[in-house]
């Protein structure tokens, strides 16, 4: 099992709008690609208030699934996110493998 993890820090003033958009529009579009089996969205909690940070995890079985996603779907979906939230977020992506 693999996890495509996207960590996003969003401007706290946009947090609720962003979260609603992610849950109702973006995540369903990502899942409709057929590259992922399921997802989780988690809020990052720390002792120090670091603002609104989330981990969105997409689960997949084969290494080729993430390549298909990155090559065929990610550019357009990431562009939509960038256009909607412009300079109000920072994101980074990691690939995790279950041991």
pLDDT in single tens digits along all 99 residues of the chain: 999 999 999 999 999 999 999 999 999 999 999 999 999 999 998 766 667 999 999 999 999 999 999 999 999 999 999 999 998 999 999 999 999
DSSP 23-58: IIIIHHHHHTTSS-SEEEEEE---SS---EEEEEEE
pTM tops 0.85, yes or no: yes
HSE-up (13 A, CA, CB side) for residue 67: 3
Find out if CATH 3.30.70.100 is the number for domain 2-97: yes
- Give me the residue spans of the domains in the chain: 2-97
């Amino acid at each position: 099992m693999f996890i495509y993890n996207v960590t996003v820090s969003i401007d706290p003033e946009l947090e609720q709008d962003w979260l609603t958009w992610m849950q109702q529009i973006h995540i369903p579009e990502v899942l409709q690609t057929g590259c992922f089996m399921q997802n989780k969205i988690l809020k990052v909690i720390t002792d120090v208030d670091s603002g609104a940070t989330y981990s969105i995890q997409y689960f997949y079985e084969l290494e080729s699934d993430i390549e298909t996603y990155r090559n065929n779907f990610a550019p357009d979906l990431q562009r939509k996110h960038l256009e909607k939230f412009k300079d109000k977020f920072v994101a980074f992506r990691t690939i995790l493998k279950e041991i």
